[in-house]
Amino acid sequence: MNHLKVLFISILGIGAILVGYGLHDHIVKVKAARLEHAVAPAAYFPSGAIWTQNVSHAPVDPHSSTIISWLAGAGGWGNNNRMQVDFGYRVLQADAHTPFVPFRKGNPFYSPDSDNISTFPLPSAGGNYQCDTSQNDCPLIVVDRGHGKLYEAYAANYAENVLTATFVAVWDLNRVYPPSGRGDQCTSADAAGLPIAPLLFNADELAAGHIDHAIRLVLPNPRIRAHVFVHPATHAGQPRGPVDAPPMGARFRLKASFDMSKLTPAAQVVARAMQKYGMFLSDGGNIALTAQSDQDTVAKYADMDFTPHDLTDLKVTDFEVVEMGRPIQLTDDCVRNR
């Protein structure tokens, strides 16, 4: 009798294991089916945009080894030299029903760097736009594809039916901007003068298996060369690094020799983009990479098995600096390209 009981329990155990494998297999197949039909979001700018250029075979800058060696010795990425991902940036989508709210210049207000507007699109589904600008950067990014515009505001706050910000850029989505962007010596919602949204990767791109643009890179201000920038950056902010530090706008590229087997499949998608399109040094801070918030994408990062720490195996010494041209001295005398 005891033998029959043990046999019965064993059969139940084996059955449970088989059911478990079957359920896991079903989940995997469902996820695979979802990924098979995943489509990366449409590009923000025409294909000639500099952040969509393939630089996998571009020349290495003559100062690359010096910059990489200095940055590694100075502490690398920041955040205890760990490459981490910030998922905090939302990119809101405007449509034909999105209201335009009154816009009022903040105090201070960056002029002539900022665009002179009187209204700003504010999607009603975006949530609470009130922000303590004394404690946070408070970026507000809205894509209005119907009108071909990308709105990026800095230190933005919506109160009493009015949006205020210390800076706002209205990018033309139908334009291929020159190397001098919106204008030399002009800042943007990022210190480098670059747009933010086109450099953010998102979960839909991970699901599709490819990221077709360069990625936004952030370094601590003491690790960014002071008083200069290189195109496509048009400004430098307030970096404090020495002459061997990378300048704002430097394009880092993951070496082709990097061992991808160290990374998860989703992290490999990001790493391949770093090899093909690179990373543009865009702002000062302690979290190296920025991804779009998964609230704005169909697929979730959890579905991709991607976390903020999945790229910590990437060290500064795994990268090189793409040829960047002569550094431009920062004067803050913004001359806008029209």
pLDDT by 10-residue block (mean), the chain, 338 residues: 37 38 34 45 91 98 98 96 94 93 95 96 77 82 96 94 96 97 97 98 94 98 98 95 98 97 96 98 97 82 90 98 97 93
Structure tokens at 162: 């009015």
333 vs 187: CA distance, rounded Å: 10
Q: Is residue 5 part of a domain?
A: no
Give the residue from 310, 189, 316 showing the smallest Cα distance to 252.
316
Cβ atoms of 236 and 229 within 8 Å: the answer is: yes
205 vs 210: CA distance, rounded Å: 6
Task: Pinpoint the alpha helices (H) of the chain.
Answer: 2-36, 64-73, 203-208, 265-276
Q: Is residue 250 part of a domain?
A: yes
CA-based torsion, 59, 63, 69, 72: positive or negative? negative
Residue pointed to by tokens 């430097």: 250
Cβ atoms of 320 and 255 within 8 Å: the answer is: yes
315 vs 187: CA distance, rounded Å: 29
Residue 321 lies in domain: 50-329
Q: What count of other Cβ atoms lies within 10 Å of the Cβ of residue 85?
A: 22
Q: Is residue 294 part of a domain?
A: yes
Q: Is residue 24 part of a domain?
A: no
77 vs 220: CA distance, rounded Å: 8
290 vs 215: CA distance, rounded Å: 8
Q: How many degrees, rounded to 5, is the angle at CA 250 between CA 249 and CA 253?
A: 130
Structure tokens at 5: 């009981």
Q: Is residue 151 part of a domain?
A: yes
Helix (H, G, I), strand (E, B) or coil at 57: coil
Query: What pLDDT was estimated at residue 273?
Result: 98
Cβ atoms of 292 and 200 within 8 Å: the answer is: yes
261 vs 284: CA distance, rounded Å: 30
Q: Is residue 17 part of a domain?
A: no
Q: Is residue 288 part of a domain?
A: yes
- For 69, 117, 193, the CA distances from 114, given in Å and listed in that order, are 37, 9, 11
Q: Is residue 140 part of a domain?
A: yes
Query: What pLDDT was estimated at residue 272?
Result: 98
Number of structural domains found in the chain: 1
Structure tokens at 22: 């079957």
